Structure 1
């Protein structure tokens, strides 16, 4: 009986770990999409004359930092 409970506990822990990993991936994708939106808004404002190149550069840098930390998978989704 103890062997069965140990296996069930291990399987539950693996399921929890997989769920947490998926949650982390989804959160990283959402953050990446938000950064892309900010970059697009900064670029648009710059092109319309209501924003500066510094804001666009900062937004681009934030996207590059995110890619370095989490990869570029969010760019393909």
Structure 2
């Protein structure tokens, strides 16, 4: 009886952990796909520029940030 209860708890914990891992992978995948589009990159660059200008009192001007995560930096 106790062993059966432990197995049910372990299965439930594993299902929850698998769900969390799949959610994180899906979220990262969607973010990477979205950042392939120039309008999304421009929006993110403007948000980052506004944040840095406001919090660090830097004067920054940005038009777009274009990156390709599939190519290594050189």
TM-score (norm: length of structure 2): 0.55
Show the counterpart of 2:66.
59
- Taking CA–CA contacts closer than 8 Å with sequence separation of 6 or more, which of the two structures ends up with the larger relative contact order? 1
Aligned residues: 52
User: Structure 1: any 5+ residue segments left out of the alignment?
Assistant: 43-53, 69-77
Q: RMSD value over aligned CA atoms?
A: 3.0
User: Structure 2: any 5+ residue segments left out of the alignment?
Assistant: 43-62
1:32 Cα offset (Å): 0.5
Query: What does 1:1-77 align with in structure 2 at a 5 Å threshold?
Result: 1-38=1-38, 55=64, 58-60=65-67, 63-64=68-69
Task: Return the structure number with greater helix share.
Answer: 1
Q: Which runs of 4+ in 1 moved over 2 A?
A: 38-42
SS at match of 1:59: coil
Which of 1 and 2 has greater Rg? Answer: 2
**Structure-2 change in CA distance of 1:41 and 1:23 (3 Å):** closer
Q: Could you tell me whether the CA contact under 8 Å between 1:38 and 1:59 is conserved in 2?
A: yes
TM-score (norm: length of structure 1): 0.53
